[in-house]
Homo-oligomer: A and B are copies of this chain.
Amino acid sequence: MGDLERVPVGVIGASGYGGVQLVRLLTDHPKLELAYLGGDSSAGQEYSSLYPHLGHQVQQMIEPIDLEKIADRCQAVFLSLPNGLACKMAPTLLEKGCKVLDLSADYRFSDLDTYTHWYGLERDDREVAETAVYGLPELYRDRIAEAQLVGCPGCYPTASLMALSPLFKQGLVLTETAIVDAKSGTSGGGRQPKTGLLLAEADNSLGAYSVAGHRHTPEIEQICSDLAGHEVLVQFTPHLIPMVRGILATVYATLRDPGLVREDLLTIYGAFYRNSPWVKLLPGGVYPQTKWAWGTNLCYIGVEVDPRTNRVIVMSAIDNLMKGQAGQAIQCLNLMMGWEETLGLPKLSFYP
C-alpha cells in the first residue's frame, strides 16, 4: 500500500510524553501517516530538537495550532493537551469532519457537572460532549466504532477498569468493598519539570498521593456504575513508584458468593475478555509484572482468591503511556476506521 492511501492524522500537543508516543507509534502504523504536528510553545521547532533520538525517523516541524489547516490536512486528530483545552478545539474539528480522539479528561464524563466539580472548569460544549464515547475498547468497542469523538481514558482508570470490570459487570462482588491500590511510574506526571518528579527525589522511594481525592476516582466510578447498573463508590489510592513507565493496579473486593474459587474467576475473566486481543489473562498463580507490558498495548491480568477472607484480588499491569494513553487512542482509531484493533500496535515487550 502506498503512502497516498494512508489516512492522514494530526497530533496536537506534540511535545509531551503522550505526543511522543503517538509520533512513535505512527512511524510503525501501516495505514496511518502523521500529517500535522501541532504545538504551542514549541511551534516552529524541529521535532527532533525535543527528542533527538528520533531525528533519523521524524523530520517534521512543530506547527502552530491552526484548526482550519489541521482539518484540511487530517482525517483524524489526537489532542494531547492539558485539561480544559480540548473542549475549545474539538467542536470546530468535528464540525469540519475530523474524527477527534482526546487524551485529556475533557470528554471522559457523561455528566459534565462531575467534570466541573473535580476539575474546576466550566463547560459550554454540552451538546458536543454528549456525543463523546469513553475510549476503553474492551468495554465500548461497538460504540467507539461509531463515534466521531472519543474521550480516551486516563492511565489509572484503564488499569483499574481492566481489573474491575468483570467483577462489576457480572455482579460478583459487594460493590462497596472495591479498593484499587494503584502504583505508577513517574512518566505519568508528564515532561513538565516538577520537584517531586526529579530522579533525586523520586528514586529509591515510594509514597501515596492524592489519597481519597484523586481526580481519576470519579472516572473509575462512572464506568463501574455503568457496568453495575447502579451508583458505585470505589476507593482509589495512587502511589508513585521509582520507575519510568508502567502501572500496576491491585484490586480488592469481597465476593458475594463465598464458594467461588480462583479457577471460577479465571473462567469468568477469560470469557469477559475473549474477544479482546490486548488482554492477556495469566494462568493461576502467575501475577503480572509491569515490565512485561513495557512498550506494548497489552494489559496483563492475574487473579487470585483468598478463601480465608473471601476476597478476590485482581492485578492488572499496563504501560501507562501505551495502553494507558497513546496506544489505546490508536486502538480506538483503528476501531473507528473499521480496522483490526491490533493494527500497527506493538505486541511484545523487550525483556528485561
Contacts and interface: CB of A to CB of B under 8 A. Distances in A.
Contacts of A282: 52, 55
A270 interface: no
A275 interface: no
Which 9 A-B residue pairs are closest in the complex by CB-CB distance? Answer: A53-B292, A205-B291, A193-B193, A212-B306, A181-B181, A187-B200, A207-B289, A199-B199, A295-B350
Given A51-B351, A205-B246, A211-B287, 15 more contacts: A55-B282, A56-B280, A186-B198, A187-B200, A203-B242, A206-B290, A207-B248, A208-B250, A208-B313, A209-B287, A212-B304, A212-B306, A212-B311, A233-B308, A239-B248
B233 A313 contact: no
A202 interface: yes
Nearest to A311: B235
Given A183-B239, A209-B287, A20 B204 contact: no
Interface residues of A, number: 87
A237 interface: yes
Interface string A55-68: 11100000000000
A309 interface: yes
Interface in A245-298: 245-246, 248, 250, 252, 280, 282-283, 286-295
A313 B211 contact: yes
B291 A204 contact: yes
A287 B212 CA distance: 12
Interface of A: 17, 20-21, 24, 27-28, 51-57, 176-177, 179, 181, 183, 185-187, 189, 191-195, 197-209, 211-212, 233, 235, 237, 239, 241-246, 248, 250, 252, 280, 282-283, 286-295, 300, 302, 304-306, 308-309, 311, 313, 315, 317, 321-322, 347-352
B305 A212 contact: yes
Nearest to A17: B352
Contacts of A321: 350
